[in-house]
Amino acid sequence: DAKTTQPPSMDCAEGRAANLPCNHSTISGNEYVYWYRQIHSQGPQYIIHGLKNNETNEMASLIITEDRKSSTLILPHATLRDTAVYYCIVSPYGGATNKLIFGTGTLLAVQP
Amino acid sequence: DAGVIQSPRHEVTEMGQEVTLRCKPISGHNSLFWYRQTMMRGLELLIYFNNNVPIDDSGMPEDRFSAKMPNASFSTLKIQPSEPRDSAVYFCASSQDINYGYTFGSGTRLTVV
């Protein structure tokens, strides 16, 4: 069962901010929002995760709405190397039962 | 830190043969995951281990697939006998128990002819 909804594809101009939306309207109180990306022919790469507060690291920012039903991943200055499939996943945090189920993601194409 | 190491990178085998994929997780990580990726089905979780114990193997497609983790530094995924529909990229990932994030290996591209 799909827990998240993402647009299948997006374009972004190089140097501009890329804003990738994700809808997770059925998220439970103990579920975190995770973002991963997969560059062609490579394994997925962890980007960021959060519960309800906005998060920022060296790669991206994660903005979660107050009702937690949607979120946005922001790449502040997209480069050509950011072209990848971006996956938004919701999952309980920690413990031996934690597992990540990947959906179809958003193909972000950064244009020169 | 060499990351998650998978071998071989590429495997071509004939239908009916046994295939063994190998994974070395990051030292100190106590959870290990096997995924399979195809164009048709995307990334599928096959099985995962915590502290070397299989926790959930509900994603293993059929009895031809088996996975083991004899110690904290090694895991195998075996397919016997292999079939053409098993052709895919198989990824191994590991994480610490608090799941700061999974680290994936580079994958094994399996082709069964």
Q: Are the Cβ atoms of B91 and A45 closer than 8 angstroms?
A: no
Mean pLDDT computed over B67-96:
96
Mean pLDDT computed over B9-37:
96
DSSP string, A13-50: ETTS-EEEEEE-TT--TTEEEEEEEE-TTS--EEEEEE
Q: How far apart are CA B46 and CA B28, in angstroms?
A: 22
pLDDT of residue A3: 86
Give the CA count within 13 Å in the CB-facing half-sphere of A56: 3
pLDDT of residue A96: 53
Which residues lie below 8 Å from residue A41, measured CB to CB, with a gap of 6+? none
Q: Are the Cβ atoms of B101 and A49 closer than 8 angstroms?
A: yes
Mean pLDDT computed over B92-112:
88
Sign of CA dihedral A47, A49, A54, A57: negative
**pLDDT tens by residue, A29-75:** 888 999 999 999 899 999 999 999 899 999 999 999 999 999 999 99
pLDDT at A94 > cutoff 70: no
**pLDDT tens by residue, B96-105:** 865 568 999 9
Q: How far is CA A93 from CA A30, A36, A67, B62, B99, in A?
A: 7, 15, 19, 29, 7
Q: Are the Cβ atoms of B97 and A96 closer than 8 angstroms?
A: yes
Which of B62, B30, B54, B35 lies closest to B46, judged by CA? B35
Q: How far apart are CA A92 and CA A99, in angstroms?
A: 8
Which residue in A43, A46, A94 is closest to B91 by CB distance? A43
List the single residue in B with minimal CA-CA distance to A50.
Answer: B100
pLDDT of residue A80: 97
**Which of the pair, B20 or A30, is modelled with greater confidence?**
B20
